[in-house]
């Protein structure tokens, strides 16, 4: 898991302009990159299903990505979770998918 996050971070880091790219002596080592990623604070609200969101969603993207989403309707969250499972191959069992949708609606649903 840390390798996926690290690769993502390195890809983003390398996408910066060449003029901003540090020389080899200034580049952080792997341990520093992992530490920097661990410093990112995620504030997903406590509610039933949070543990499932953490367990299943983090395999493909950061939890911060969920925080950044707008408030969707239940139908939109259902479509999103279905897309993650069917189109992107997220290994989420059907029973967990339903609980994840309920959590997302509870904490990021349209009011």
| CA–CA distance, 11 with 29 (Å, rounded to integer) | 15
Give pLDDT tens digits for 93-106. Answer: 999 999 999 999 99
| CA–CA distance, 59 with 88 (Å, rounded to integer) | 11
| CA–CA distance, 30 with 10 (Å, rounded to integer) | 10
Give pLDDT tens digits for 15-53. Answer: 444 445 555 567 777 766 555 555 567 789 999 999 999
Give pLDDT tens digits for 55-64. Answer: 999 888 889 8
Q: What is the pTM of this model?
A: 0.64
| CA–CA distance, 89 with 82 (Å, rounded to integer) | 10
Burial 64-77 (b: 16+ CB within 10 A, else e): eebeeeeebeeebb
Domain ranges of the chain: 2-38, 50-108
For 50-108, the fitting CATH number among 2.60.120.640, 2.60.40.420, 3.40.50.920, 1.10.760.10 is 1.10.760.10
> Residues 6 or more apart from 78 whose CB is under 8 A from it?
101
Please tell me which of 41-45, 64-68, 83-87 the model is most confident about, judged by mean pLDDT.
83-87
Q: What is the pLDDT of residue 19?
A: 46
């Amino acid at each position: 898991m840390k390798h996926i996050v690290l690769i993502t971070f390195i890809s983003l880091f390398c996408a910066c302009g060449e003029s901003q790219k540090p020389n080899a002596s200034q580049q952080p080592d792997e341990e520093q990159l992992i530490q920097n990623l661990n410093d990112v604070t995620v504030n997903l609200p406590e509610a039933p299903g949070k543990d499932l969101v953490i367990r299943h969603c983090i395999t493909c993207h950061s939890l911060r990505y969920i925080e950044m989403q707008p408030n969707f309707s239940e139908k939109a969250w259902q479509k999103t979770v279905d897309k993650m499972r069917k189109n992107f191959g997220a290994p989420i069992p059907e029973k967990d998918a339903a609980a994840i949708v309920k959590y997302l609606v509870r904490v990021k649903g349209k009011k």
